[in-house]
Amino acid sequence: MSIKSKMHELKLKYQGKKMAPAFNAFHTFLFTPDETTHGVGTHVKGADDLKRTMNTVIMALVPVLLFSFFNTGYQHYSAINGFPENFSVMEHFLTWDNFWLGLITVLPLVIVSYGVGLIVEFIFAVIKGHEVEEGYLVTGMLVPLIVPVDTPLWMLSVAVVFGVVIGKEVFGGTGMNILNPALTIRAFLFFAYPTWMSGDKVWVHGAKDGVTQAGSADAITGETILGYLAQNKEAAYAAKFDISDMFFGFIPGSVGETSTFLILLGGLFLIFSKIASWRIMVSAVVGALAMGLIFNGVVDAGWIPEYSKFYGLMQFEFWKHLIVGGLAFGIVYMATDPVTGSQTTRGKWIYGFFIGFISVMIRVFNPGYPEGVFLAILLMNVFAPTIDHYVIQGNVKKRMRRLKKATIFPKDSEGKAAELQPETV
């Protein structure tokens, strides 16, 4: 008897029992369901389903995850030992030591994220008596990529439970939530444990534990580029990082947010597979650039003195906002969530624009934590239904105006159009 046949036999055995949802989840994860839609009617038959959609997003995240393994080790060893001038980044980046350190540091975050999250999903499925929802397949991968590398596992577990229960299950589960679950988890971590989510000792593995530099007693630090700018240390960041480092991701940051290049490839893959909305991505980029240009104009006009705590981030070239921090990651993988984003075409343009616009605004005006994309997306998650409402109402009013301008030709007793002037309704 084949494995599939044995699993099908066990499925029939568990059918109707309390643990059936949990077993069916494993069964459909391993094999394509045998049930198909029969007959005609209102059913729309397609090759895709929720699980396949989730798996497509995970495929777009895998290169980012693999890169994070190397970058975790690279940032750790470069902070401790440093590298000689004119060294080749790739020569020191693609090494077994870097990959191994990243693997044993990042993989536990992934395992805990999936393990705790799916346990909560299974519990709710059994309690409610419905099938296990596949929505957490993507959330479980996103969460470890948007946190600092040394986030304690117990802390992550608490946040995942909070995010899944409060961010999704209380609203009815997958497809009913108004907030992105992964960002709800990130927000919980930020507000509950701020010292582990910001500062200069959370972005490089070992810095929080006081690993020392070779030949000195100073604990290693891994300040992000935004952190340097928030402290008006433009020269320090410029001497340490160049444009290629920012774009390709050889910089400190949350686990998976650093490589704009791979995030861009993932975004193109999601657009090509029609999973994510290109309108939201493009409008968010336009919004970020617009806000960056406004701040650059304020600095160029001399309205902000150099000693101002906002000066460093305001004078940062507007287009560079897209290649540092979590803005690119948030736009591609978070803002495009089809459940929590706007559903109308015009609404997507408005929704995305304000995400980019507000993200850069929060970056500049919150130098204590110079990042704002997750807060901007959560804020716009709340306003997405309102945006869609007014877009739809606008379309209704526009059609009503057209109807009022429509003309009706009266007919005579034989049903023929009379030779009369049309009257307006």
Element (H, E) at 407: strand 407-408
Amino acid making up residue 341: G
8 Å CB contact between 159 and 189? yes
For residue 232, the model assigns a pLDDT of 84
Lowest mean pLDDT of 44-48, 64-68, 96-100, 109-113, name the range: 44-48
Q: Give the model's confidence band at 142: pLDDT under 50 very low, under 70 low, under 90 confident, else very high.
A: very high
Residue 99 is encoded by which pair of tokens? 């990959």
Q: What is the CA radius of gyration of the chain?
A: 26
| pLDDT (tens digit per residue) in 62-75 | 999 999 999 999 99
**Packed helices 20-30 and 3-14: angle between N→C axes, nearest 10 degrees:** 160
Would the pLDDT of 136 be above 90? no
d(CA 33, CA 147): 35
Would the pLDDT of 52 be above 90? no
Q: Give the model's confidence band at 12: pLDDT under 50 very low, under 70 low, under 90 confident, else very high.
A: low
For residue 327, the model assigns a pLDDT of 95
d(CA 375, CA 358): 9
For residue 425, the model assigns a pLDDT of 42
For residue 239, the model assigns a pLDDT of 76
For residue 401, the model assigns a pLDDT of 87
Phi, psi angles (nearest 5°) of residue 379: -60, -45
Residue 417: beta bridge partners? Answer: 411
Residue 131 is encoded by which pair of tokens? 């099938």
For residue 211, the model assigns a pLDDT of 59
Phi, psi angles (nearest 5°) of residue 408: -125, 125
State the average pLDDT for the chain: 84
For residue 46, the model assigns a pLDDT of 58
For residue 288, the model assigns a pLDDT of 97
d(CA 375, CA 357): 12
Residues of the chain with pLDDT > 70, as a percent, come to 78
Would the pLDDT of 377 be above 50? yes
Would the pLDDT of 300 be above 50? yes
Residue 88 is encoded by which pair of tokens? 């080749």
* CB atoms inside a 10 Å sphere around CB 191: 9
Would the pLDDT of 25 be above 90? no
| pLDDT (tens digit per residue) in 157-212 | 999 999 999 988 888 877 888 999 999 999 999 999 998 998 888 899 988 766 55
For residue 216, the model assigns a pLDDT of 44
Q: Give the model's confidence band at 215: pLDDT under 50 very low, under 70 low, under 90 confident, else very high.
A: very low
Counting every residue written for the chain, the total comes to 425
Residue 238 is encoded by which pair of tokens? 């410029």
For residue 217, the model assigns a pLDDT of 40
Q: Give the model's confidence band at 87: pLDDT under 50 very low, under 70 low, under 90 confident, else very high.
A: low
Task: Please classify residue 263 by burial: count the beta carbons closer than 10 Å to its beta carbon, then call 0-12 exposed, 13-18 middle and 19+ buried.
Answer: buried
